[in-house]
């Protein structure tokens, strides 16, 4: 069997590409490792930026659907010191420039916008063979194979498509985010809910911090951010949730209890997310019939832009293919010429934001950034 356009990965980037192609009347097939859309919780709230995420959704013809899932009020942000003292408090000004949505809701509107059968669930790519003339044969974990004329790796950080284009592999940045959740926050954790406020809360010191976000549904979603070696993280047994939470909380000894409760009172086991990144400026020479988008092409530290960039890549690639219907190589060249400088610049911003959050000046680097005291962009929403 041959499919003209094969997209590997039904994350936000791959789905945005499939949808924009569909808008242009170009069929594509998305191969996703997860067995179904519901397999994993798609937790986390994302702020969607006008210049990339919102532009992508507009190209996808989904602006109304996106507006319908916005979490009103969620764009407030505040900075606290480790004793819970408020250093900065910025309410959601309601201007809706960078609205917050749940990642799962966003993924759902993209999935629902595709013709039935576009996404093949339970198709984990395990191998790719070049067939010549830009064609490839994909092999999946279930033993099935498919031929393709255009292969797009939208398969995230540990892309199986990337090696066709590049030898680069993601490296640990030295920072780990440990994720926890508190549910029914106003009723069950009122002091902590009060400390977090209506949107994002940053309590940062050099090398460590607690960043929490109030999500739709009265949920407090936390990333405990620690600059620690991979060995230090590996020594924590995260299968023992209570012990792991206590070990992480010990790093915050003396901090306000309403803040450390975000670690110790979580209703789910803490999940470590070791932050990896591809080299800044990652790029590749043109290889016929294959390209990358999103994290597969430019994995960078979280700065609140990765999902936006992935969707934008998808939309840009879809538009480029539509603009060169008879010349895939021209489409890929045009797409990559814009992709490389865009992602190089975003990666530099992402590393700078991580440094503002956890560097020597914490928390004041970030506060200056949030208030515009620093010369650069004042987009506080990107500080995640
Ligand atoms: C802790 C943390 C917080 C973040 N916070 C934000 C934020 O607030 N805002 C923001 O914009 N970004 C944020 N990001 C970044 C964002 O999550 C990513 O940049 C974004 O998800 C990338 O989208 P993608 O479509 O490229 O890849 P992914 O979302 O990783 O999707 C890849 C898809 O490919 C599938 N897949 C993988 N391998 C295979 C295979 N072999 N075969 C078939 N399918 C496969 C996966 O199952 C997945 O569905 C954060 C990242 C982290 C780690």
DSSP-derived secondary structure for 197-219: TTSEEEEEETTEEEEEEEETTTE
Instruction: Indicate whether residue 310 lines ligand 1 (CB < 6 A).
Output: yes
Instruction: Indicate whether residue 9 lines ligand 1 (CB < 6 A).
Output: yes
Answer for the pair 174, 358: CB distance below 8 angstroms, yes or no.
Answer: no
Query: 309-321: buried (b, 16+ CB within 10 Å) or exposed (e) per residue?
Result: bbbbbbbbbbbbb
Number of domains into which the chain is organized: 2
* CA-wise closest residue to 278 among 175, 158, 382, 177: 158
Taking the C-alpha atoms of residue 67 and residue 58, their distance in angstroms, rounded to an integer, is 11
Alpha carbon 148 to its chain's center: 27
Asked whether residue 362 carries a pLDDT value surpassing 80, the answer given is yes
Measured in Å, residue 296 CA sits from the centre of ligand 1 at 9
Domain endpoint, select from 257, 277, 297: 277
317: helix, coil or strand? helix
**β-strand partners of 208:** 205, 226
Domain endpoint, select from 277, 305, 324: 277
- In-domain check, residue 368: no
Taking the C-alpha atoms of residue 250 and residue 261, their distance in angstroms, rounded to an integer, is 12
Measured in Å, residue 191 CA sits from the centre of ligand 1 at 32
Same domain, yes or no: 237 and 194: yes
Taking the C-alpha atoms of residue 107 and residue 117, their distance in angstroms, rounded to an integer, is 16
Same domain, yes or no: 263 and 329: no
Measured in Å, residue 327 CA sits from the centre of ligand 1 at 29
pLDDT in tens, 12-30: 999 999 999 999 999 999 9
- In-domain check, residue 363: no
Measured in Å, residue 124 CA sits from the centre of ligand 1 at 15
**Ligand 1 atom 30 nearest Cα:** 156
Residue 231 confidence class, pLDDT cut points 50, 70, 90: very high
Asked whether residue 296 carries a pLDDT value surpassing 50, the answer given is yes
Which domain does 203 fall in, by range? 171-277
Taking the C-alpha atoms of residue 155 and residue 38, their distance in angstroms, rounded to an integer, is 18
Measured in Å, residue 292 CA sits from the centre of ligand 1 at 13
Pocket test for ligand 1, best of 9, 18, 53, 122 (most atoms within 8 A of CB): 9
Same domain, yes or no: 235 and 266: yes
Mean pLDDT of the 178-198 span:
96
Residue 2 confidence class, pLDDT cut points 50, 70, 90: low
Same domain, yes or no: 213 and 270: yes
Instruction: Indicate whether residue 154 lines ligand 1 (CB < 6 A).
Output: yes
Where residue 109 sits, what CATH number does that domain have?
Answer: 3.50.50.60
In the DSSP assignment, the letter for residue 306 is H
**Ligand 1 atom 6 nearest Cα:** 304
> What's residue 42's pLDDT?
63
- In-domain check, residue 272: yes
Alpha carbon 27 to its chain's center: 26
**Ligand 1 atom 27 nearest Cα:** 156
Residue 379 confidence class, pLDDT cut points 50, 70, 90: very low
Q: Where are the beta strands (DSSP E) in the chain?
A: 2-8, 29-31, 45-47, 77-80, 86-90, 100-102, 119-120, 125-132, 135-140, 145-153, 171-182, 200-205, 208-215, 219-227, 271-277, 290-292
Distance of CA 341 to CAs 61, 221, 320, Å? 26, 33, 17
> What's residue 179's pLDDT?
96
pLDDT in tens, 31-85: 999 999 888 666 688 989 999 999 999 999 999 999 999 987 777 899 999 999 9
């Amino acid at each position: 069997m041959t499919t003209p356009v094969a997209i590997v990965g039904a994350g936000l980037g791959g789905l945005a590409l499939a949808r924009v192609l569909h808008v242009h009347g170009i069929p594509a097939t998305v191969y996703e490792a997860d067995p179904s859309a519901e397999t994993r919780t798609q937790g986390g709230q994302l702020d969607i930026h006008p210049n990339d995420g919102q532009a992508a959704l507009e190209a996808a013809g989904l602006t109304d659907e996106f507006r319908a899932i916005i979490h009103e009020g969620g764009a407030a942000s505040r900075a606290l010191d480790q004793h819970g003292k408020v250093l900065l408090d910025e309410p959601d000004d309601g201007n809706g420039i960078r609205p917050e949505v749940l990642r799962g809701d966003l993924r759902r509107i993209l999935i629902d916008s595709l013709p039935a059968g576009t996404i093949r669930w339970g198709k984990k790519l395990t191998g790719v063979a070049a067939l010549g003339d830009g064609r490839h044969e994909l092999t999946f974990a279930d033993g099935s194979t498919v031929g393709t004329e255009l292969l797009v790796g939208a398969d995230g950080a540990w892309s199986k498509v990337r090696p066709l284009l590049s030898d680069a592999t993601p490296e640990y940045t030295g920072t780990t985010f440990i994720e926890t959740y508190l549910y029914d926050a106003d009723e069950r954790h009122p002091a902590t809910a009060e400390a977090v406020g209506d949107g994002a809360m940053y309590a940062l010191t050099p090398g460590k911090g607690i960043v929490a976000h109030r999500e739709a549904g009265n949920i407090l979603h936390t990333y405990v951010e620690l600059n620690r070696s991979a060995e230090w993280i590996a020594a924590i047994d995260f299968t023992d949730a209570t012990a792991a939470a206590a070990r992480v909380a010990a790093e915050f000894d003396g901090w306000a209890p309403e803040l450390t409760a975000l670690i110790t009172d979580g209703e789910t086991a803490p999940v470590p997310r070791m932050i990896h990144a591809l080299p800044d400026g990652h790029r590749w020479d043109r290889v016929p019939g294959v390209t990358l988008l999103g994290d597969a092409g430019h994995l960078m530290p979280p700065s609140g832009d990765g999902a936006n960039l992935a969707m934008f890549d998808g939309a840009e690639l879809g538009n480029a293919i539509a603009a060169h219907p008879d010349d895939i190589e021209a489409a890929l060249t045009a797409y990559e010429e814009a992709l490389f400088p865009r992602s190089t610049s975003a990666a530099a911003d992402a590393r700078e934001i991580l440094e503002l959050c956890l560097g020597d000046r914490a928390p004041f680097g970030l506060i200056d950034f949030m208030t515009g005291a620093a010369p650069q962009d004042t987009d506080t929403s990107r500080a995640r």
